[in-house]
Structure 1
Amino acid sequence: MDPIKFIEDKRQEVLKIYQELHALAEPSWKEEKTSRYLFEKLIDSGMKVKTFPGHYGIIAEIAGERPEVIALRADMDALIQEVNGQVQANHSCGHDAHSTMVLMTALALSKTKPKHTIRFLFQPAEEVAGGALKMMEDGALTNVNFLGGVHLRPSFEIPYGKAAPIILHGSTTTLKGVIHGVQAHAARPEEGNNPIEAASLLIQAIKQIRLSNVGRYSIKITELHGGTVSNAIPETARFTFDLRSETNEGMKALIAKTDHIVRQIAQLTETKIDFSLDDEFSPAAVEHPQAVESAECAISAILGKENVVPICVSPGAEDFHFYTLKNPSLSATMIGLGCGLAPGLHHPNMSFDLEALIYGTKILTKMMLEADQRNWV
């Protein structure tokens, strides 16, 4: 059967799978029921399926005529957030929708005879930016030349019935630290060393960071705690800064400058600053023209050329881009799917038009069929 017709015929099953995955909602690294649900569907289709003892990720494959692999990735985990006064796992980032569409793409293609081996990655722990790295450790990208992905987009980014062949996520990381001063009575400040004053100097110094030729970037204080009473200089002050850049090169430069400033302020204020600034930042997207072209062809075929949004720029982060950061020769792209999503991603009451699951699955299926006809170097 034609894979696109298969999806249309299985319309009700697509919606049912989404509803069942939505109800399972499990946090990062604890996607046990979600993984089992997907595993059973994949095994029943006759695909070769692999699981792992250290996490709940899944790799499923359709054997091709040659060993080179094209792959499609979904994330599985939910957020932990307050919903109507209760803290719970909640699918407000659309990972249940992503898993639904990739699963149905796998089922639609399972009876085909592709040129390439087609691999489906169901990844844990995207929300904590650890799942992609773990999947790569376990061989998820062995022989992979093309990798596709998908993410629901809010209506203010991409309207319903439209899609973009690439999402340009930015890079992000966090600076966390504790400034150790010397405690003293507020009446005798000369006997102490105020870590809050050191923190204020740090904030002002970091605000003066200037980078050139790296695109847009930002660094801002998001958390500062110090002291508990009005008449004493505290011993410590704790801080957090959020760092963002639209390019990986910009993030590397931002990290280097920030690291230098923190050390400089510690020396200037004669305080000790314990801090962490991880070089393993969440990476920015990199455009791969051939991969983007495959996605654009698929969107045009399903929705029409008039409904292709050339590019989706997002200030958010996505651990999908670890795959290309660690494998620069890999051609990859993530489709941005317009779906009537409101009020926004990560909002506890996020919702979208479920009809987007149908055309989203068709787009992914068409993209993999298109990718199978290409020669990936």
Structure 2
Amino acid sequence: MDPILFIDQERKLILQTYKELHLLAEPSWKEKNTSKYIKGLLEDVGISVQTFLGHYGLVAEIPGKKADVIALRADMDALVQEVDGMVRANHSCGHDAHSTMVLFTALALAKTKTQLTHTIRFIFQPAEEKAEGALKMMEEGVLENVKFLGGIHVRPSFEVPYQKASPVILHGSTVSIKGVIKGLQAHAARPEEGNNPLEAVALLIQAIRQIRLKDEFPYSIKITELHGGEASNLIPESARFTFDLRAETNETMEKLIKQSEHTIKNIANLTETDIDFSLAEYSPAAIKNDEAIKLAERAITSVLSEENLQPICKSPGAEDFHFYTLKNPTIAATMIGLGCDLSPGLHHPNMSFDQEALIYGTKILVKLLVEADQL
């Protein structure tokens, strides 16, 4: 049987699997039940699955005539956010959809006994939301012998319309600067005896806002978290802050980080405070690979037609998928942007999309592997 026909026949099961994964929502590094669920379905059709100690990532593999590998990657974790007044794990970024599509790509090829020349590897990754999972999976050697790596991500309607798809998502780079300013505590009646860290952080915010780069690519930096003080009549000893940095390219991000660090050190000297800070939650920008993009274009047009191919999807968001290419620039890789009538937006607690997109998204991934097999 043709794997595309298999996907049509298994439509109800695909949608049911998505719903079950959606309800399993588990935060980063705690994807135990999600991983177990995916592993069971893969092993039921005879696909070999590798698990790892210390985390719930897994790798499934269908042997080919060659040891060289073409691969797909899916993320499994959910966000932790407030939903209807309760803080809980919630799949508002579509990782349940991504896992469903990659899972059924594997099942379609296995159950229809579709033989490709290359070995096919399916990477189910933990902790994308913390920008740590891709790095961990690379430590486990999941890119060994990989020539091509594909991914897919559901997109908001304003980026990619329903029943359209883009062969590449150009995510930007993002990083957080987290720090603590330590001053000197004092009674509010005797401020001269202390050194107020809140005044220091106020100066820091203004100084950060004045950063200007001579750069052709967009960037931004802004305060996103600030904590300090517990009493109205007391100058606190410390204040805690987070700045969010965004840049369209990795090179621009390097400049922005350098200028930010310089600014923080200047404010520490000016205010005679100690500012201890570090970088966190770094994700690199996408690196375009023309060869991989062409493969994705052919896969999309084969399933949706040429008129439903959207050339480029640009997003100010971040994705740790791009660590794979940053650390392994010889691999042809791309992430497909899937139009699915998604609203109000990614990470919104009430995010929803048209689940019919899971069907044509899975077909695109099957065709993508067929195209990549020609490498």
Q: Same fold (TM over 0.5)?
A: yes
SS at structure 1 position matched to 2:211: coil
> 1:25 matched to which residue of 2?
25
Q: Distance in 2 between matches of 1:22 and 1:292?
A: 29
Contact 2:131/2:282, CA 8 A, preserved across alignment:
no
From 265, 272, 275, the counterpart of 1:273: 275
Matched letter for residue 37 of structure 1: Y
Matched letter for residue 353 of structure 2: F
Matched letter for residue 240 of structure 1: T
Contact 1:178/1:238, CA 8 A, preserved across alignment:
yes
SS at structure 2 position matched to 1:292: helix
Deviates more, 1:306-315 or 1:185-194: 185-194
SS at structure 2 position matched to 1:12: helix
| Alignment of 1:369 onto 2:370 | yes
In the TM superposition, residue 298 of structure 1 has moved relative to its aligned partner by 0.7
In the TM superposition, residue 252 of structure 1 has moved relative to its aligned partner by 1.2
Matched letter for residue 26 of structure 2: E
SS at structure 2 position matched to 1:49: strand
Q: Distance in 1 between matches of 2:125 and 2:237?
A: 43
Pair 1:54–1:228, CA change in 2 (3 A): closer
Runs of 5+ consecutive residues of structure 1 not aligned to the other structure = none
Pair 1:190–1:82, CA change in 2 (3 A): closer
SS at structure 2 position matched to 1:221: strand
Pair 1:9–1:29, CA change in 2 (3 A): same
> 2:62 matched to which residue of 1?
62
Contact 1:70/1:146, CA 8 A, preserved across alignment:
yes
Contact 2:182/2:239, CA 8 A, preserved across alignment:
yes
Q: Distance in 2 between matches of 1:210 and 1:16?
A: 50
TM-score with structure 2 setting the length: 0.96
Q: Distance in 2 between matches of 1:154 and 1:140?
A: 30
| Alignment of 1:332 onto 2:344 | no
TM-score with structure 1 setting the length: 0.95
> 1:120 matched to which residue of 2?
122
In the TM superposition, residue 78 of structure 1 has moved relative to its aligned partner by 1.3
From 205, 208, 225, the counterpart of 2:207: 205
> 1:8 matched to which residue of 2?
8
Q: Aligned residue pairs: how many?
A: 373
| Alignment of 1:179 onto 2:181 | yes
Q: Distance in 2 between matches of 1:326 and 1:193?
A: 44
Matches within 5 A, 1:47-58: 47-58=47-58
Matched letter for residue 119 of structure 1: R
In the TM superposition, residue 87 of structure 1 has moved relative to its aligned partner by 2.2
| Alignment of 1:39 onto 2:39 | yes
Q: Distance in 2 between matches of 1:100 and 1:50?
A: 18
Pair 1:80–1:223, CA change in 2 (3 A): closer
Superposed CA deviations along residues 19-43 of structure 1, whole A, max 9, x for unmatched, are: 2212221111111111111111111
Runs of 5+ consecutive residues of structure 2 not aligned to the other structure = none
| Alignment of 1:229 onto 2:228 | no
From 121, 124, 129, the counterpart of 2:131: 129
| Alignment of 1:316 onto 2:320 | no
| Alignment of 1:90 onto 2:96 | no
In the TM superposition, residue 223 of structure 1 has moved relative to its aligned partner by 2.0
Pair 1:37–1:227, CA change in 2 (3 A): closer
Q: Distance in 2 between matches of 1:331 and 1:117?
A: 16
Contact 1:152/1:341, CA 8 A, preserved across alignment:
yes
Percent identical among aligned pairs is 69
Q: Which stretches of structure 1, 4 residues or longer, exceed 4 Å deviation after superposition?
A: none
In the TM superposition, residue 214 of structure 1 has moved relative to its aligned partner by 5.4
SS at structure 1 position matched to 2:68: strand
Q: Distance in 2 between matches of 1:182 and 1:318?
A: 40
